[in-house]
Structure 1
Amino acid sequence: MLILKCAKVFCRHPFFSNSLLEKVFSVPSVFYSTRKAGEVIEDVRRIRNIGISAHIDSGKTTLTERLLFYTGRVGEMHEVKGKDLVGAKMDFMELERQRGITIQSAATYIDWKDININIIDTPGHVDFTVEVERALRVLDGAILVLCAVGGVQSQTLTVNRQMKRYSVPCMAFINKLDRLGSNPYRVLSQIRSKLNHNAAFVQLPIGLEGQNKGLIDLIKRKAIYFKEPHGLTVVEEEVPEDMRSEMEDRRQELIEAVANVDETLGEIFLEERSPTEEEIMAAIRRTCIKRAFTPVFVGTALKNKGIQPLLDSIVEYLPNPSEVPNYCLDNSAGEDKIEKVLLNPERSYENPFVGLAFKLEAGRFGQLTYMRIYQGGMTKGDSIFNTRTGKKVKISRLVRMHADEMEEVSEVFAGDICALFGVDCASGDTFVNKGNTHLSMESMYCPDPVISMSIKPAKQQDSDNFSKGIARFTKEDPTFRVYYDVDNKETIASGMGELHLDIYAQRLEREYNTKCVLGKPKVAFRESLIQPCEYDYLHKKQSGGRGEYGRIIGAIEPLSAESNTKIEFVDETTGTNIPKQFIPAIERGMRKACEKGSLTGHKVAGIRVRLLDGGHHPVDSSEHAFMTAGEMAMKEVFADGIWNILEPVMFVEVNAPQEFQGQVMAGLTKRHAVFSGSDANEGYFSIYCEVPLNDMFGYASELRSQTQGKGEFTMEYSKYCPALPDTQEELVRQAALEREGTQDKKRKKN
C-alpha cells in the first residue's frame, strides 16, 4: 500500500517515466496515471464514458470504489457501511453515508492502460430513477451489476428499459459470488429469459460462496487468481483439471452466441475453424456495441476479485464516443421541418460546439452544471448560448469531477464530461456557440410523480430558508415538484415515493436548518370519461361594454388504456366557421378546465377532445371569448358525461423466506394485488404483482412484522387503471365533505 501511494505521488513528476516507476517501485504502471492534471486527450479512441447501474444493494458503489483504488485514484478503500465510518468515496453526502444508499449520481474519472474512463455511479432505489435516466442519456456504455443471489430484480428491469431507450451498449457483471446462496448460472438464465439479452459467460467462477478463489478467462483459457494485499497481485495459472471440461463447453457456448449475431465470426464458425483469441474479442466488441450480445463477467467487489479483468473488458469491449452515433435537432428551416443531424465526434474546434447540461447541483461556489460535450470544443473564457432561453453565458471556470472534488481544466472537447460554474440553466438544456442556436439535443425522459404529501416548515420564521431549499431542489430534480394548493391552502410536494420526499425533508433540515412537517401522502388520482359525450356550447355576452361571442361543437371520447394519462386535442373543423387563430384559445380553455375534475377535483386524463364545428361573430369574437367557451363546454361535459376515477398501479416485488410465503400473499391479497408470477431460490421466494398505490401505504412495517424483519419489497410505477368501486365512492364522499367545509368557512367569513 505504501509503495502504491508513493508511486502515485512521484508519477506526476515529468522526469519519471513508466519504465522507471516499474523498476523502482515494482508496481505495474496500469495502477496509476502519468497524465498531468488538466491535460487534454487528443485521440477520442482513448476515452470511455460508462455508467454503473443496478438494483438496490447489488454492489454498484463498492465496485466503483474498487475501480478507483486499482487505478490509483484513491489510496485506500472504504466500505459503504464500514466500521471506520469514512464511507465510500462516491457516497459523499452525509445522508448517503448514514443510510448506506446512493441518493445522487456522482461522476469521476480513472485511467487504465492509457485509456481515460469517465464513470457515473448511479442510485439503485426506484425513487431516484431520474438520476439513472439522465446519466444513461449522456453515456456511451454501461455496466449492469447483478447480485449473484438476487439475480434480475425489479429495478434491474427498469434500468434495462432505460438502457434500451437510449440504445446504450452494456456488459453484465455478476457480483457478490462470496455470498451464501450465490448462483451465477441462475442469474445468466434470468438475463436471457427476463431481460431478453443474447448473453453468455466470458468468465467462470472458481468456487462459490466461501470457496471462491478466482475466475477462469474463457477466451484465454487461463485461471486468474487475486493475491494479497487487497487483490493487487493478479496471477495467471493453468485451469484446474476438474473445470477444463466445463470451460470448453462454456467457451463453445460463448462462440456460438456471438457467431449468431456477427457475420465474421459466423463465417469462421461455419468453416468449422477454431477462431483465435483476437477474432473472438473483436467479434464480442462489434456485437456488444450493436447491443446484439451482452458479455457476462463475474467477481466479488467486496473481496477484491474480478475487478482488474473488468477494467480490461471496459477498455476492450465498450465503445469510445466516436463509435456511438449521436444526433441533434436542426430547426433552421422552421419548427414544422425539424431534421436530425449526425454530430461529429472529432476533438476539434472546427465543428460547431454542442453540449448538453444533464445534471444540476448546488456547489460551494454556486450552481454546478454537469455537461456532456457532443461536438466541437470549449475553452475557459469562451461564450456559449442556451438554445432554450437564447441567453449568452461566459465560461469563467471549467472543472472535471471526482465525486465532490474538482480538477481545473482549460479546455474540453467532444466526448468529455465536465462541469461549469455560474451557468443559469435547467436540466436538459442544450448549449451551442454563436450562430448555431437552431441546433438542440433531444430532451431526456422524466417520469411523472406518483405520490404527493403536504409539506411546511415547522417554524414560521424558517419560511425563507424553506423557499430557498425548495427552489434549489426542484431545479436540480425534475421529478420533485412543489406547488401551492389554493383550495386546501397548503404546499404540496410530489415525488417518486415516500423515501424520495423523506430524503428532501431531511436535506432541508441538514442543509438549510429548516425542520419540515410532512402530511399524509396524497395519491395522484385521475378522472376519465367512460363513454363518448357530445358538446355544443354558445358563449354570448352583449350587456354593457364590448360583447363576447363564441360557439363550439364537438365530441369528447375516452382514450385507450395505454394512453389514459394523456389529453389529446384534435381540430377537425373545416371552413371558416371558427377562424384558425382561435383554435389554440379553445384548447387552452379546455385544458384549464381539465386541471380539476367534477368528481373529486383531481386532474382529468385519458380523453380525446374533438372540435368539429362552431360559429363566430366578426366583431364580438375574441381569444378570451373562445377560451371561455372551451372551459364552459368542458364543464358541461363534466355534468352530462359518465366519469370514473383512475388510480396509479405499482409493480411490486416482494422477497422473503419461504416459511412466510402464505402470510405475505394473504397480506397482498387484502391490498387488492394482482399476481403475475413467483420465483423460489435457496430458501427464499419472490412474488411479482401489481397493487394500487393507494393500498401500499404502511406496507413496509406490515411486511417486517409478517417476516420477522427478514422480508423486503420494491415497487415502481406501472400504469393507471380504473379505481375499485369502494375507492371511488370514498374519494367522492371525501371531496363532497371538503366542498361543504369550504362553503361553511365562506359563510362564516361573510
Structure 2
Amino acid sequence: MSTTESAAQRETAPSSGTAGGARVVGETARRRTFAVISHPDAGKSTLTEALALHAEVIDSAGAVHGKSGRKGVTSDWMEMERARGISVSSAVLQFAYRDCVINLLDTPGHGDFSEDTYRVLAAVDAAVMLLDAAKGLEPQTLKLFDVCRSRGVPIVTFVNKWDRPGREALELLDEVEQTIGLRPMPLTWPLGIAGQFKGLIERTTGEYTAFTRAAGGATKATAQVVDAETIAAQEPEYWQNAQDELGLLDEIGAGFDEEGFRSGKATPVLFGSALSNIGVARLLDSLVDLAPPPAPRPDVKGDDRPLEAPTSGLIFKVQAGMDKAHRDRMAFLRICSGRFERGMVLTHAATGKPFATKYAQSVFGAERRTVEEAFPGDIVGLVNATALRPGDTLYAADPVEFPSIPAFAPEHFAVIRAKDAGKYKQFRKGIEQLGNEAVIQILRSDLRGDQAPVLAAVGPLQFDVVTTRLETEFNAPVTLDRLPYQIARLVDAEAVEKLAGQSECEVLRRDADGEHLALFTNKWRMDIIQRKFPDMRFEAMPAGSSIS
C-alpha cells in the first residue's frame, strides 16, 4: 500500500463512523477560536501576550517596543513589527487552557492591513473588542465591529488601560450602546475611576478582588479577595460610587443574556489593564465559558457542512519568512469539519489536485511544532504550500467549497522595479511570493512588462512591508514610483481595448485571478469615461475603507 493510500484510508475512519463522528463533535466542543480586534495602540498585542501568560504557556509577558526592558510580544514576530511597535500581519497562538484548546488570533490594528484582518475574521467564532478607557470607540474599532456584525461573530468587550486616566465607566457603556447598538452586559465592575484603579467587583457575587501589579508588569498581578466590609472602610467613597453604579445597572436590566450575546445583540463587558495583567484571567475564563464553540460552516451553496463530515478547511492566510533558517511558506488552514490527521491527502478545491499534509504544524507566534491531529476550530499550519492562496478550500472524500475571501478595492498604486538589474531573478520570485500571500495586489500590463509590475494597496503601509521584505528576504532592493490613480473598477476583456489610450485611465491585469482592473485618477474622470461608453460595465470591488 502506498503512503498516499494509507493516509487516505486512515482519514476516512475517524469521521465516517459513529464513534469517530462522536469524537469529532466532542473535541469541537472544547475549541475556542477567537480574534482580538481594536484601533491601533489600544493594547491589542499586549492583551494577546497577557492572555498567553495567564494560560501559563509563557513565563513572562513581552511588551510592544520592549517597554520597561521587557522582551517583544510573541505575536509580533516580524522585525518590522518590533521596530515600529505595530502589528502588520495577523498571528496565531494555539494553547491549552482548562479543558479547552484555544486558537487565539492577533490581528493587525492598522487600517492599511484591513484585508489581513478581514481574512482572520473569516476564520474565527468570536472576537474580543478592545477599548481604550480614555478613547472608547475609535474609527478602526467601529469598522471592525461592522465586519464582525456582517459575519455574525459574537463580541466580548474588554475595557483596557483602566489604570490610566480615562472616561467614566457608565459613559463608555452608553457609547457602545448608542453608537453600535450592542447592549452592554458588564461581568466585572471597576472600583475607582480610570487612573485610580483599586480592583474589580464581580457583578453576580459582589466579590471584590484587589490587585498588586508585578514589577514591570511582565508577570501576573497578585490577586487578593477582600471582604466588602474591609474595602468599604478603606475606600468609602469609591465603594459607595461603585454600589450606586451597580444598582443602576441592575435597574436597567444589564445582566448577562446568553441569547443576546450569541445573536450579536449584546456584549459581555470586562474591565482591566493588559499591560499590568489585571482582569486578564477573568477575560480568559469568560471566553472559555461564554464564547461559542465551532458550528457547522455554510459552503458556497449556503448548505451547512456538518462538523462530523469528512475533513475540510479554509485557507485564510499564507505567510512566508516565519522560519529564517528554511525560508519556507506556511498556509494557515482553519479546520471546518472532520478530524484532520497529519499525512492525509486532501483535495485542493480550486484545482482538483491532491495536497499532501506531511508537514502540518501548530503555531504559537513564530514558534511551531508538529501536529498529529486537529479538529474543527483548530488552526493548522501547512508548510511549503506553494499552490495555496487565501480563500482556498481543502477537503477529503466529500467535495465541498467554502465562500472565498474577497480582495478589497485598492486606493494606492505604485510601479515597482528592481534597483539592480542583476537581482531581477530574486525580484521576480519575491513579487510572485508576496502576491500569492495576498500581502498586496500585483497588477501587470503588456505595456509596462514584467519588469515593472504595479502594486495596488488598500493603504500605503503595505508598500513599506513589500519593500522591506523584498530587501531582507530576497536581497532585492527596489524603487517605487507612485501613480496618480485613486479608484479601481473591475472591467471585462472587451473594455480593455475601448479604454486603451484614454487619458488619466489605465487597465491592468490582476495576477491573483486574471481579472482586469481599470484605474482612474479620480471619480470625475471615471464618470466622464463612463458617459462616453455607456454600455461598459464598471464593477465596484468590496471597499477596503469599510474596515480601514
1:250 CA displacement: 4.3
Describe the superposition over 1:239-289 as per-residue Cα deviations: whole angstroms up to 9, x where unpaired: 443455554554455556667xxxxxxxxxxxxxxxxxxxx6xx5333211
* Match status 1:137 vs 2:122: yes
* Match status 1:417 vs 2:379: yes
Preserved CA contact (<8 Å) 2:54 2:220: no
Taking a change above 3 Å as real, the CA distance of residues 588 and 497 of structure 1, as seen in their structure-2 partners, is closer
* Stretch moving more, 106-115 or 137-146: 106-115
**What is aligned with 1:359?**
317
Describe the superposition over 1:215-237 as per-residue Cα deviations: whole angstroms up to 9, x where unpaired: 22212212122235444432222
Taking a change above 3 Å as real, the CA distance of residues 249 and 344 of structure 1, as seen in their structure-2 partners, is farther
Q: Which runs of 5+ in 2 are unaligned?
A: 1-23, 509-528
Q: Tell me, in whole angstroms, the C-alpha distance in 1 between the residues paired with 2:507 and 2:546.
A: 19
Q: Tell me, in whole angstroms, the C-alpha distance in 2 between the residues paired with 1:168 and 1:640.
A: 44
1:55 CA displacement: 0.5
Describe the superposition over 1:180-210 as per-residue Cα deviations: whole angstroms up to 9, x where unpaired: 3444433322212222212243222222344
The one-letter code of the counterpart of 1:233 is T
Q: Tell me, in whole angstroms, the C-alpha distance in 2 between the residues paired with 1:291 and 1:224.
A: 30
**What is aligned with 2:28?**
44
Q: Secondary structure at the match of 1:138?
A: coil
* Stretch moving more, 416-425 or 40-49: 40-49
Preserved CA contact (<8 Å) 1:386 1:430: yes
* Match status 1:100 vs 2:93: no
Describe the superposition over 1:547-577 as per-residue Cα deviations: whole angstroms up to 9, x where unpaired: xxxxxxxxxxxxxxxxxx566xxxxxxxxxx
Preserved CA contact (<8 Å) 1:106 1:122: yes
Q: Secondary structure at the match of 2:382?
A: strand
Taking a change above 3 Å as real, the CA distance of residues 98 and 383 of structure 1, as seen in their structure-2 partners, is same
1:137 CA displacement: 0.4
* Match status 1:342 vs 2:342: no
Matches within 5 A, 1:680-699: none
Taking a change above 3 Å as real, the CA distance of residues 476 and 487 of structure 1, as seen in their structure-2 partners, is closer
Preserved CA contact (<8 Å) 1:147 1:174: yes
**What is aligned with 2:279?**
306
| Aligned partner of 2:429 among 468, 477, 497 | 468
1:306 CA displacement: 0.9
The percent of aligned pairs where both chains have the same amino acid is 27
1:447 CA displacement: 1.1
Q: Tell me, in whole angstroms, the C-alpha distance in 2 between the residues paired with 1:641 and 1:411.
A: 56
Describe the superposition over 1:82-110 as per-residue Cα deviations: whole angstroms up to 9, x where unpaired: 25473111111111101111011000123
1:296 CA displacement: 1.4
Matches within 5 A, 1:717-736: 717=545
* Match status 1:432 vs 2:260: no
Describe the superposition over 1:681-708 as per-residue Cα deviations: whole angstroms up to 9, x where unpaired: xxxxxxxxxxxxxxxxxxxxxxxxxxxx
* Match status 1:290 vs 2:263: yes
1:353 CA displacement: 1.7
1:115 CA displacement: 1.9
Matches within 5 A, 1:264-663: 283-321=256-294, 324-329=295-300, 339-346=301-308, 351-362=309-320, 363-364=322-323, 365=326, 366-423=328-385, 424-434=387-397, 436-437=398-399, 439-477=400-438, 479-484=440-445, 486=447, 490-525=452-487, 565=489, 588-589=493-494, 591-593=495-497, 596=500, 598-602=502-506
Preserved CA contact (<8 Å) 1:218 1:250: no
Preserved CA contact (<8 Å) 1:525 1:603: no
**What is aligned with 1:155?**
140
Taking a change above 3 Å as real, the CA distance of residues 588 and 201 of structure 1, as seen in their structure-2 partners, is same
Q: Tell me, in whole angstroms, the C-alpha distance in 1 between the residues paired with 2:225 and 2:498.
A: 67
Q: Tell me, in whole angstroms, the C-alpha distance in 2 between the residues paired with 1:256 and 1:300.
A: 28
Q: Tell me, in whole angstroms, the C-alpha distance in 2 between the residues paired with 1:243 and 1:146.
A: 23
Q: Tell me, in whole angstroms, the C-alpha distance in 1 between the residues paired with 2:252 and 2:431.
A: 51
Q: Secondary structure at the match of 1:57?
A: coil
Q: Secondary structure at the match of 2:175?
A: helix
Q: Tell me, in whole angstroms, the C-alpha distance in 1 between the residues paired with 2:496 and 2:439.
A: 22
The one-letter code of the counterpart of 2:204 is I
| Aligned partner of 1:189 among 174, 193, 197 | 174
The one-letter code of the counterpart of 2:505 is G
**What is aligned with 1:220?**
205
Taking a change above 3 Å as real, the CA distance of residues 254 and 44 of structure 1, as seen in their structure-2 partners, is farther
Q: Secondary structure at the match of 2:144?
A: helix
**What is aligned with 1:334?**
none
Taking a change above 3 Å as real, the CA distance of residues 521 and 601 of structure 1, as seen in their structure-2 partners, is closer
Give the number of aligned pairs: 483
Preserved CA contact (<8 Å) 2:362 2:370: yes
The one-letter code of the counterpart of 2:393 is T
The one-letter code of the counterpart of 1:467 is R
Preserved CA contact (<8 Å) 2:362 2:379: yes
* Stretch moving more, 387-396 or 470-479: 470-479
Q: Tell me, in whole angstroms, the C-alpha distance in 2 between the residues paired with 1:566 and 1:514.
A: 31
Q: Which has the higher contact order (CA 8 A, sep 6+)?
A: 2
Q: Secondary structure at the match of 1:43?
A: helix
Q: Tell me, in whole angstroms, the C-alpha distance in 1 between the residues paired with 2:430 and 2:53.
A: 35
Q: Tell me, in whole angstroms, the C-alpha distance in 2 between the residues paired with 1:118 and 1:96.
A: 21
Q: Tell me, in whole angstroms, the C-alpha distance in 1 between the residues paired with 2:176 and 2:472.
A: 41
Taking a change above 3 Å as real, the CA distance of residues 478 and 485 of structure 1, as seen in their structure-2 partners, is farther
Taking a change above 3 Å as real, the CA distance of residues 718 and 122 of structure 1, as seen in their structure-2 partners, is closer
Matches within 5 A, 1:202-213: 202-213=187-198
Preserved CA contact (<8 Å) 2:28 2:375: no
Taking a change above 3 Å as real, the CA distance of residues 638 and 85 of structure 1, as seen in their structure-2 partners, is same
Q: Tell me, in whole angstroms, the C-alpha distance in 2 between the residues paired with 1:466 and 1:381.
A: 33
1:122 CA displacement: 0.5
Q: Tell me, in whole angstroms, the C-alpha distance in 1 between the residues paired with 2:100 and 2:258.
A: 16
1:60 CA displacement: 0.5
Q: Tell me, in whole angstroms, the C-alpha distance in 2 between the residues paired with 1:478 and 1:97.
A: 18
The one-letter code of the counterpart of 1:60 is K
Preserved CA contact (<8 Å) 1:481 1:495: no
CA RMSD of aligned residues (A): 3.0
Taking a change above 3 Å as real, the CA distance of residues 602 and 196 of structure 1, as seen in their structure-2 partners, is farther
Preserved CA contact (<8 Å) 1:173 1:299: yes
Taking a change above 3 Å as real, the CA distance of residues 487 and 408 of structure 1, as seen in their structure-2 partners, is closer
* Match status 1:180 vs 2:165: yes
Taking a change above 3 Å as real, the CA distance of residues 638 and 236 of structure 1, as seen in their structure-2 partners, is closer
1:139 CA displacement: 0.3
The one-letter code of the counterpart of 1:81 is H
Q: Tell me, in whole angstroms, the C-alpha distance in 2 between the residues paired with 1:428 and 1:154.
A: 27
Q: Tell me, in whole angstroms, the C-alpha distance in 1 between the residues paired with 2:253 and 2:380.
A: 35
Q: Secondary structure at the match of 2:264?
A: coil
The one-letter code of the counterpart of 2:349 is T
Q: Secondary structure at the match of 1:340?
A: coil
Taking a change above 3 Å as real, the CA distance of residues 482 and 186 of structure 1, as seen in their structure-2 partners, is farther
1:381 CA displacement: 2.0
**What is aligned with 1:238?**
227
1:57 CA displacement: 0.5
Q: Secondary structure at the match of 1:110?
A: strand
1:70 CA displacement: 1.5
* Match status 1:60 vs 2:55: no
1:58 CA displacement: 0.5
1:303 CA displacement: 1.7
Query: TM-score when scaled to structure 2?
Result: 0.81
Q: Secondary structure at the match of 1:211?
A: coil
**What is aligned with 2:19?**
none
The one-letter code of the counterpart of 1:373 is I
Preserved CA contact (<8 Å) 2:49 2:73: yes
Describe the superposition over 1:37-66 as per-residue Cα deviations: whole angstroms up to 9, x where unpaired: xxx995322210010110100000001111
Q: Secondary structure at the match of 1:358?
A: strand
Q: Tell me, in whole angstroms, the C-alpha distance in 1 between the residues paired with 2:293 and 2:351.
A: 32
